[in-house]
Amino acid sequence: MKNINVIIPNWVSHLPVYDTDECGITISNFCAIIRLYPNQCFGKEYQHVEKIHDNIIACIKQPQEQQLLNQTWLFIKDSFEENWDTIPSDTRERILKLKVSIAHGENLSFPSSAAIPSAMEAYLFTSRLKC
Protein backbone atom coordinates (compact mmCIF):
# COMPACT_ATOMS: atom_id res chain seq x y z
CA MET A 1 0.00 0.00 0.00
CA LYS A 2 2.96 2.31 0.47
CA ASN A 3 3.49 2.70 -3.29
CA ILE A 4 -0.10 3.76 -3.81
CA ASN A 5 0.55 6.81 -1.62
CA VAL A 6 3.08 7.92 -4.24
CA ILE A 7 1.43 6.65 -7.43
CA ILE A 8 -2.02 8.19 -6.98
CA PRO A 9 -0.93 11.78 -6.19
CA ASN A 10 1.58 11.55 -9.05
CA TRP A 11 -1.11 10.35 -11.48
CA VAL A 12 -3.54 13.07 -10.37
CA SER A 13 -0.84 15.70 -10.89
CA HIS A 14 -0.72 14.76 -14.60
CA LEU A 15 -4.45 15.34 -15.09
CA PRO A 16 -6.57 16.51 -16.81
CA VAL A 17 -6.18 14.69 -20.11
CA TYR A 18 -7.32 16.70 -23.11
CA ASP A 19 -7.08 13.91 -25.69
CA THR A 20 -10.72 13.32 -26.63
CA ASP A 21 -10.09 9.61 -27.26
CA GLU A 22 -8.79 9.11 -23.72
CA CYS A 23 -10.82 11.69 -21.84
CA GLY A 24 -13.91 9.58 -21.05
CA ILE A 25 -12.05 6.58 -19.69
CA THR A 26 -9.63 8.82 -17.78
CA ILE A 27 -12.51 10.66 -16.08
CA SER A 28 -14.19 7.35 -15.25
CA ASN A 29 -10.94 5.97 -13.78
CA PHE A 30 -10.31 9.23 -11.90
CA CYS A 31 -13.74 9.09 -10.24
CA ALA A 32 -13.41 5.38 -9.42
CA ILE A 33 -9.94 5.84 -7.89
CA ILE A 34 -11.20 8.68 -5.69
CA ARG A 35 -13.90 6.39 -4.29
CA LEU A 36 -11.58 3.40 -3.90
CA TYR A 37 -8.64 5.28 -2.37
CA PRO A 38 -9.97 8.51 -0.85
CA ASN A 39 -7.22 8.81 1.78
CA GLN A 40 -4.46 8.50 -0.79
CA CYS A 41 -6.22 10.86 -3.22
CA PHE A 42 -7.00 13.58 -0.69
CA GLY A 43 -3.72 13.33 1.23
CA LYS A 44 -3.25 12.97 4.97
CA GLU A 45 -4.12 16.63 5.54
CA TYR A 46 -6.31 17.00 2.44
CA GLN A 47 -3.45 18.73 0.64
CA HIS A 48 -4.37 17.25 -2.78
CA VAL A 49 -8.01 18.37 -2.74
CA GLU A 50 -7.45 21.59 -4.65
CA LYS A 51 -5.75 19.70 -7.51
CA ILE A 52 -8.62 17.21 -7.57
CA HIS A 53 -11.07 20.12 -7.65
CA ASP A 54 -9.14 21.71 -10.54
CA ASN A 55 -9.37 18.44 -12.47
CA ILE A 56 -13.11 18.17 -11.88
CA ILE A 57 -13.61 21.75 -13.08
CA ALA A 58 -11.48 21.11 -16.18
CA CYS A 59 -13.31 17.89 -17.05
CA ILE A 60 -16.87 18.91 -16.22
CA LYS A 61 -17.10 20.56 -19.63
CA GLN A 62 -17.53 17.06 -21.07
CA PRO A 63 -21.35 16.73 -21.09
CA GLN A 64 -21.33 12.93 -20.96
CA GLU A 65 -19.23 13.00 -17.78
CA GLN A 66 -20.99 15.77 -15.83
CA GLN A 67 -23.18 13.50 -13.73
CA LEU A 68 -20.27 11.24 -12.74
CA LEU A 69 -18.12 14.26 -11.81
CA ASN A 70 -20.97 15.84 -9.81
CA GLN A 71 -21.49 12.58 -7.91
CA THR A 72 -17.75 12.37 -7.25
CA TRP A 73 -17.69 15.93 -5.91
CA LEU A 74 -20.59 15.09 -3.57
CA PHE A 75 -18.62 12.05 -2.37
CA ILE A 76 -15.61 14.30 -1.70
CA LYS A 77 -17.80 16.81 0.18
CA ASP A 78 -19.21 14.02 2.34
CA SER A 79 -15.68 12.95 3.23
CA PHE A 80 -14.73 16.50 4.23
CA GLU A 81 -17.82 16.91 6.34
CA GLU A 82 -17.14 13.64 8.18
CA ASN A 83 -13.52 14.62 8.88
CA TRP A 84 -13.89 18.39 9.21
CA ASP A 85 -12.37 18.62 12.70
CA THR A 86 -9.23 16.76 11.61
CA ILE A 87 -8.46 19.01 8.62
CA PRO A 88 -5.93 21.80 9.31
CA SER A 89 -7.59 25.23 9.54
CA ASP A 90 -5.68 26.73 6.60
CA THR A 91 -6.79 23.81 4.41
CA ARG A 92 -10.39 24.20 5.62
CA GLU A 93 -10.34 27.86 4.61
CA ARG A 94 -9.21 26.94 1.09
CA ILE A 95 -11.71 24.07 0.84
CA LEU A 96 -14.59 26.37 1.78
CA LYS A 97 -13.88 28.40 -1.38
CA LEU A 98 -14.10 25.44 -3.76
CA LYS A 99 -17.22 25.19 -5.91
CA VAL A 100 -18.37 23.00 -8.76
CA SER A 101 -21.05 24.38 -11.08
CA ILE A 102 -23.47 21.72 -12.16
CA ALA A 103 -25.40 21.60 -15.40
CA HIS A 104 -28.56 23.41 -14.27
CA GLY A 105 -26.75 26.40 -12.76
CA GLU A 106 -26.46 25.38 -9.09
CA ASN A 107 -23.15 25.37 -7.28
CA LEU A 108 -21.96 22.48 -5.16
CA SER A 109 -19.95 24.20 -2.46
CA PHE A 110 -19.30 24.07 1.25
CA PRO A 111 -21.27 26.07 3.80
CA SER A 112 -19.88 29.47 4.69
CA SER A 113 -19.29 28.58 8.34
CA ALA A 114 -15.81 27.52 9.40
CA ALA A 115 -17.03 24.19 10.77
CA ILE A 116 -19.82 21.70 10.33
CA PRO A 117 -21.55 21.67 13.75
CA SER A 118 -23.28 18.30 13.67
CA ALA A 119 -23.73 15.17 11.62
CA MET A 120 -27.46 15.96 11.26
CA GLU A 121 -26.77 19.41 9.81
CA ALA A 122 -24.17 17.91 7.47
CA TYR A 123 -26.72 15.35 6.31
CA LEU A 124 -29.36 18.02 5.73
CA PHE A 125 -26.88 20.21 3.84
CA THR A 126 -25.83 17.32 1.59
CA SER A 127 -29.43 16.22 1.00
CA ARG A 128 -30.39 19.64 -0.35
CA LEU A 129 -27.59 19.56 -2.92
CA LYS A 130 -28.18 16.16 -4.48
CA CYS A 131 -29.31 16.34 -8.09
Q: 9 preceded by cis ω (within 30°)?
A: no
- Give dist(CA 100, CA 108) in Å, integer: 5
Mean pLDDT of 110-129: 45
Is the model's pTM score more than 0.85? no
Range of the domain at 27: 4-129
CA–CA dist 55, 128 (Å, integer): 24
CA distance 80 to 72: 13
Nearest CA-CA partner of 54 in 107, 112, 14, 113: 14
pLDDT (tens digit per residue) in 4-45: 888 888 888 888 777 777 778 888 898 999 999 998 889 888
Angle between helical axes of 20-36 and 66-82 (0-180°, round to 10): 20
* Total domains, the chain: 1
